[in-house]
Amino acid sequence: MKISGESDLSIDFCGIKFKNPFVLSSSPPTTTGEMIKRAFDAGWAGAVTKTLVREEIVNVKPRFASLAFPGSPEEPKKIYAFENIELVTDRPFSVWLEEIEDIRKSYSDHVIIASLMDDASHPEGWKEMAKKVEGAGAHMIELNMSCPHGMPEKGMGSAIGQNPKLAGKVTKWVADAVKIPIISKMTPNVTDISEPARACVENGASAISAINTVGAIMGVDLDTFVPKPAVAGYSAHGGLSGMAIKPIALKAIATIREAVDIPISGIGGIATWEDASEFLLMGASTLQLCTEVMVRGYGIIEDLNDGLSNYMEEHGFASINDMVGVAQRKMRALSDLSKEYKVVSSVKESKCVKCDICYISCNDAGYQAISLREDRIPIIDEEKCTGCSLCYQVCPVWDCVAMKEVSGG
Ligand SMILES: Cc1cc2nc3c(=O)[nH]c(=O)nc-3n(C[C@H](O)[C@H](O)[C@H](O)COP(=O)(O)O)c2cc1C
């Protein structure tokens, strides 16, 4: 099929038009107004400012750590999880107001969203900041009630988002103070993310964004005994981001969509157009990115737009809206999934590298359904195979093991 790559990527989100669903999340890629403008020039539809606060912030150095593979110094590394102990913006609120005003004037077809944070005992602080960013021209406000480090100790960030009552209260203060739409940003560090989401919607949120980072400690230096990242011999709890948190984010989006009928801005581990498509299909209608932009820069927007556009055309989606939630509608309670549907594994002999991994896994963690021929090619005993797919998951060759259906379902 010939793909023209010219699908309509625009989306109406809370009454505001985004020319494509891609937005920079509140994070290092939105550290300054100048950076946001460069991102808009590159093709990003919108940006959420780094979180604005009224107090002065001093960041520690260093404040990042990463988990990379293959993990050997001989091969180039690829980051699949990122940890940060960075705080909110360290630039003055007054400077941000000027920059928001300037962006609004000079980029009329882009969306600028102000991220705000204060504590839950201070309605006037929230309201005053909200009115000021609205006055400066922000299209929307995102409430940061989800940062897991540094700020919760002061009653801010996830200290609010982890408490549905506080999350609702803060949302109401801001929603009552301004006319522009409010997005409440969720923390994944809760038992049931639908509870704070519902509280925010009941108190005036026009949308939910999810997720902020996942509470984490990246590792420990085995020589110094200091957890990572190390700051003068000590470390602190941080937040995990990047591709490793994508499954957590997708689950959060599905859960929120089941609980409340409201637009969702999906965040967490989006790195490619394929990830972006999955988030849309699961129910998000705008998409925010941070870590992948930190690693590869604003230029990834071209691949994101082209890939998504081609995918839509190939699958007959006329608009982003047509995609939103298609996969979420295929979620069921586990107890409702078919017990009649049966698969067993099969091995493509020509692809097998005779590593024995499928045999070992099935033997020690499965149903002893794999034996090895004399030449070490695995043989599947279909009577013993329960179709769990462990061999398929652990096989190092992409298309060597397959799961074949043996009954309808
Ligand atoms: C270094 C760093 C700084 C961040 N700062 C903020 C912030 O100021 N406000 C906020 O709401 N989220 C902040 N985040 C969270 C991101 O906006 C985003 O929710 C999270 O990183 C997950 O998306 P990702 O996997 O695409 O990075 C930060 C993330 C990182 C990695």
For residue range 192-216, list pLDDT tens digits in order.
Answer: 999 999 999 999 999 999 999 999 9
CATH number, domain 334-407, options 3.40.50.970, 3.40.920.10, 3.30.70.20, 3.40.250.10: 3.30.70.20
Report the distance separating Cα 39 and Cα 49, nearest Å: 12
| Atom nearest to 142 CA in ligand 1 | 11
Write down the architecture of domain 11-330 according to CATH: Alpha-Beta Barrel (3.20)
Tokens linked to 195: 């509870």
Amino acid (one-letter) located at 382: E
- pLDDT computed for residue 64 by the predictor: 97
Ligand 1 pocket check for 240: Cβ under 6 Å: no
> Is the pLDDT confidence value at 185 over 60?
yes
**Which residue is listed with tokens 């107004």?**
33
C-alpha of residue 178 to centroid of ligand 1, in Å: 25
Residue 87 sits at φ, ψ, to 5 deg, of: -95, -165
Residue 51 Cα: closest atom of ligand 1? 8
Q: Whose CA is nearest to atom 18 of ligand 1?
A: 212
Residue 114, pLDDT above cutoff 90: yes
How many angstroms separate the alpha carbon of residue 342 from the centre of ligand 1?
A: 42
306 Cα: distance to centroid of ligand 1 (angstroms):
25
What is the chain's mean pLDDT, rounded? 96
Domain ranges of the chain: 11-330, 334-407
Q: How confident is the model at residue 409 (pLDDT cuts 50, 70, 90)?
A: very low
Expressed in angstroms and rounded, the spacing between residue 358 Cα and the centre of ligand 1 is 38
Residue type, 236: A
What does DSSP assign to residue 262?
S
The one-letter amino acid at 254: A
Give tens-digit pLDDT for 335-381: 999 999 999 999 999 999 999 999 999 999 999 999 999 999 999 99
Domain 11-330 shares a fold with domain 334-407: no
Look up residue 69 and give its two tokens. 């593979």
> Is residue 264 within 6 Å of ligand 1 at its C-beta?
no
pTM to 2 decimal places: 0.96
Active site residue 147: yes
Q: What is the pLDDT of residue 6?
A: 74
| Residue ranges with strand state E in 161-311 | 182-185, 207-210, 214-216, 219-220, 227-228, 238-241, 264-267, 286-289
User: Best substitution site from 193, 241, 253, 289 to test ligand 1's pocket, by max atoms within 8 Å of Cβ?
Assistant: 241
